[in-house]
Amino acid sequence: MSERVYPPVIAAAKTMFRVLGLKIKIEGHEHIPATGGAVLSCNHISYLDFIFTGLGAHPAKRLVRFMAKKEVFDHRVSGPLMRGMHHIPVDRENGASSYIAALKALKAGEVVGVFAEATISQSFTVKEIKSGAVRMAVAAKVPLIPMAVWGTQRLWTKGRKRKLWQRNTPVHILVGEPMHPKRGDDYEQVAKELHERMQALVDRAQRDYPVDGTGQWWQPAHLGGTAPTPERAAELDEAERVERAARKARREAQKPQE
């Protein structure tokens, strides 16, 4: 597989991080296997999470193939980059094709990155996750590795202006011990354990974070921040889903009738 795009992108990102003085801390990268397939399941709090999750695997000298929504691949700027880095497009209306592509990559020895919450968590806690990541790991017979990022939401997240040039922002990336689900396990129970492990990593990242988030929009409500509670965040997600469905219906209604 040609890697003409991915290494230069990583080099450019690391240069930008140095220029911005981002204080990046990576822990647990030794849990990522040096060879062979693996599924990385990370929390999702920022539009930049795939960059930092990939950076977390870089000390292990692994390139991560991320599953990302198809719209990112359709964009005239990000599309060629995503395809050049061999990421995996996810079509909400045809999930089977992306699942098959991910399995093929895993069986070929690739590391596949997933954001099991599906969308950005506006409460900055780990949302409910489905068992898709578990099923992929089982089908491909590879480890399932929980991850967490923290601090990325301060740079660019849903409902907030981008602050990509905010200097000296700490970003913590934590990699947990691998899980080894197998056929015959209760996949929903394994997904629950994955959720618990991801939340524990997020909790640790928050405890160790060197900036006090009390009263800040980027801090969870249960830690004294002003972010929406998980319940309020769920309401916001549902309102967004309804609006997205309405927009789609309007577009369909405007199409010429055959």
Residues 97-134: tens digit of each pLDDT: 999 999 999 999 999 999 999 999 999 999 999 999 99
Query: Structure pTM?
Result: 0.94
Q: How far apart are CA 134 and CA 184, in angstroms?
A: 12
Q: How far apart are CA 191 and CA 130, in angstroms?
A: 7
Q: How far apart are CA 143 and CA 62, in angstroms?
A: 15
Q: Which helix (H) or strand (E) holds 173?
A: strand 170-175
Q: How many CB atoms lie within 10 A of CB 87?
A: 24
pLDDT at 89: 94
Whether 143 and 34 have beta carbons less than 8 Å apart is answered as no
Q: How far apart are CA 145 and CA 136, in angstroms?
A: 12
Between the alpha carbon of residue 115 and those of residues 15, 50, 54, 65, 80, the distances in Å are 25, 9, 12, 12, 21
What pLDDT, in 10s, does the model give residues 215-224? Answer: 999 999 999 9
Query: For residue 154, what is the DSSP state?
Result: G
Domains in the chain, CATH or no CATH each:
6-212 (3.40.1130.10)
Q: Which one, of 43, 8, 233, 232, lies nearest residue 122 by Cα?
A: 233
pLDDT at 162: 94
Q: How far apart are CA 247 and CA 63, in angstroms?
A: 36
Whether 181 and 172 have beta carbons less than 8 Å apart is answered as no
pLDDT at 255: 83
pLDDT at 24: 97
Q: How far apart are CA 63 and CA 12, in angstroms?
A: 15
Both tokens assigned to 147: 């991850």
pLDDT at 83: 94
Q: How far apart are CA 36 and CA 38, in angstroms?
A: 7
Helix 187-208 to helix 132-140 angle, to the nearest 10 degrees?
110
